[in-house]
Amino acid sequence: MIFGVFVYSIFHARQGIRVWFNRAGIAFVILLTFIIVTLPLSTSLTLSARDFVKMLPELALVFLIPIVFCTRSKLETVLFYSAVGLTFILGYDLIRLVHVLGPDAIAKAHAFEPFILNHSNVASMAAGAAFFVLAYFAWKWRNDQMRLGICLLGMAVDIAYKIVIASRGPQIAFVVAIGAAGLLLLPGWRRKLLWVLVPVIAAGLILIFNQRFFDKVSMKGLCDRDKVWMQSWELAKERPVLGYGFGKKVFEKVYHSSNPPASPFKFHHTHEYWLFALFQHGWAGVLLYASAWVLLMMRLLYYLSTQCTVEKKLLPGLIAVLLIFIHFYGLADYPDNIVKLMLLCLIPVTLAVTGLGEQSNIEHST
């Protein structure tokens, strides 16, 4: 289906492709080109090629977003229904967990399988992202009782899910993103200063509800993340320029054949976004990754600073909050599965929305 829409978008790409004609867009195109060009240099070309082919539908989606969803209203529509869809999935899982685990749900839900979205951390991140999107629409539709009620109900489900699933990393990233939301969107330093109380209170509530923060065994090594970080760093130093090659399969092959420290966990990646970039692509790749993300965030923050009202700041502010949310999570885990897809899709969404200030094809509708 995605490739069908992709083929359609190729013949209608003239306008949408313009969103890439800026420093941030070009930086991501250069990064993708680098990944493709260096594929043959992988320590396992077959594994890298397979992982890259699996990623093609995601790349197709990234390409078609600014072409198919070519107005502000269409972008808002896809954001809203994506959040609603995720909330329905997580709401179902919440009912399942409470039904099966009963009063032990908060204590046992994190490790309960089968996971609804690849892993409990991934599902918790999805809940956080859906919450922020629905919060945006709750404000936008604050004068429409029915639609406001739907948004508030969805937000309650997402918060309940984050509490029950008890994933520490996504909860910490969520608190940081809440703090960033106030600092980015609220006018005046007094309001910003007062807003600091909100993430502080949220952090306190997390500590009350999530007893996993007091589990000395898992907190000491962050579920053995310290082991995979140290071993991955040592391995990366052996191939510092271009790394070992693209993909998780290459990492699994190299890491688990390197006599890593003993652990009950089978690591599929480095559990850290930038360390994984270093492992795959060396310092050359890290430089390209950093350049692209810094240029994109600078573009977004500049556009945000040019908006004179809270209403106009909300959409770019939402995107900034989501980017901060995922990237902060990526400091202690790898944004995988649907979280990686969200991160990739935020690239063209950011370029499209910030294109409003450059008379792009994205129409500014109210």
Full 3-state SS string of 174-232: HHHHHHHHHHHHCCCHHHHHHHCHHHHHHHHHHHHHCHHHHCHHHHHHCCCHHHHHHHH
Count of C-beta atoms within a 10 Å radius of residue 200: 13
Based on the number of CB atoms within 10 Å of its own CB, is 4 exposed (0-12), middle (13-18) or buried (19 or more)?
exposed
Closest CA to 175 of 200, 197, 208: 200
- What local confidence, expressed as pLDDT, does residue 265 receive? 87
- What local confidence, expressed as pLDDT, does residue 70 receive? 74
- What local confidence, expressed as pLDDT, does residue 363 receive? 44
- Residue linked to tokens 């107005």: 71
Q: Could you tell me the CA-to-CA distances from 214 to 162, 206, 222 in Å, in that order?
A: 17, 11, 12
Domain borders along the chain are 1-68+236-366, 73-214
Answer yes or no: is pLDDT of 173 > 50: yes
Cα separation of 167 and 210, whole Å?
Answer: 8
* Sequence-separated contacts (24+) of 345-349 with Cβ below 8 Å: 345/61, 345/62, 345/65, 346/319, 346/322, 347/28, 347/62, 347/296, 348/19, 348/62, 348/63, 348/65, 348/66, 349/65, 349/66, 349/75, 349/79, 349/319
| Residue-wise pLDDT tens digits, 38-69 | 999 999 999 999 999 999 999 989 988 988 88
Q: Are 51 and 250 in contact (CB under 8 A)?
A: yes
Q: Could you tell me the CA-to-CA distances from 1 to 4, 11, 54, 253, 269 in Å, in that order?
A: 5, 16, 15, 32, 29
Closest CA to 74 of 315, 325, 324, 340: 315
- Residue linked to tokens 């480095």: 270
| The residue type at 109 | A
On the CB side of 310, how many CA atoms lie within 13 Å of its CA?
Answer: 10
Cα separation of 336 and 338, whole Å?
Answer: 6
| Residue-wise pLDDT tens digits, 308-365 | 888 899 999 999 999 999 999 999 999 999 999 999 999 999 999 998 654 444 444 4
Task: Report percent pLDDT > 70 for the chain.
Answer: 93
Cα separation of 183 and 195, whole Å?
Answer: 8
| Residue-wise pLDDT tens digits, 110-152 | 999 999 999 999 999 999 999 999 999 999 999 999 999 999 9
- What local confidence, expressed as pLDDT, does residue 14 receive? 65
| The residue type at 12 | H
pTM for the model stands at 0.94
Length of the chain: 366
Query: What average pLDDT does range 184-192 have in this prediction?
Result: 91
